[in-house]
Amino acid sequence: MSAHAELQDRPVLDLPHVNAELHYLGRMTERPRNYTYDPPPDVPRSNTVHESHIVPIYDLRPIEAEISLDREGFELLGHVSAVRDFYDPEAERLIAEVTGASRVFVFDHTVRRRVTGADDRAAGQPRQPATRVHVDHTARSGPQRVRDLLGDEADELLKGRVQVINLWRPIRGPLRDAPLAVCDARSVAPGDLVPSDLVYRSRVGETYAVKYNPDHRWFYVPEMQRDEALLLKCFDSETDGRARFMPHTAFNDPTAPDDVAPRESIELRTLVFHPA
């Protein structure tokens, strides 16, 4: 049975869901590009065209035991942190335990706090929830991060399996504002993923923008708590049919109350290594 046929056989259509708006990449003739800082004069911060679609986003909780990081590209963990600072070796140990990795290297963390009307990356403002469907790394930029960050070790590490995995969790729960939607990687066609430049002052990174496909299957975790974490697979060098790139985005839950507490969350980005 093909992965696509297996996907269609899963009873997701019977799951509770919300219908919500997601923002995809629209039709473009040039390569998408986004600056992480104020660009030169007369250069737009982004040249990216977006289009919005209303899609069902299914409740992950009833099937969380069936979900796999290697199959769907995401996994929900119950994890009570023993530390106040999530940017801690505890996260490395957790991801190594879940994945069986020989080494985990945390290379970035981002705290997001929703401020009404604020733009993401605006000067003097906290980072905002990312509201465009995207994948953090690509087939090119995943290995490049290993070279950028681990220097002389990179060539040897890249002989084995390498993954980029994010650990995402609320700082306060229950989280009702701008929850995270995750897309079953098996429902994503290769042509849905469009390489895009992310321009920093000292380098140009590459992410995937994502084109709309009605086959995409979206999930979320309602009222996620601080002692829960989502693992998100953003890159996998293995090409044997396992999930490699998992689109995700924040979204506005139409069922959330008007007085919902603003979202506060943290995500760690990690390089995950398995020996050759």
Residue 127's nearest CA partner among 253, 231, 36, 239 is: 36
In the chain the beta strands, taken as DSSP E runs, fall at 17-25, 33-35, 50-59, 74-78, 103-113, 134-135, 161-170, 180-183, 193-199, 204-210, 218-220, 228-236, 248-250, 264-274
- The pLDDT tens digits along the chain (276 residues) read 344 444 444 556 689 999 999 999 999 999 999 999 999 999 999 999 999 999 999 999 999 999 999 999 999 998 665 555 555 678 899 999 999 999 999 999 999 999 988 888 877 789 999 999 999 999 999 999 999 999 999 999 999 999 999 999 999 999 999 999 999 999 999 999 999 999 999 999 999 999 999 999 999 999 999 999 999 999 999 999 999 999 999 999 999 999 999 999 999 999 999 998
The pTM assigned to this predicted structure is 0.92
- The span from the CA of 259 to the CA of 229, in Å, is 24
**What are the boundaries of each domain within the chain?**
3-274
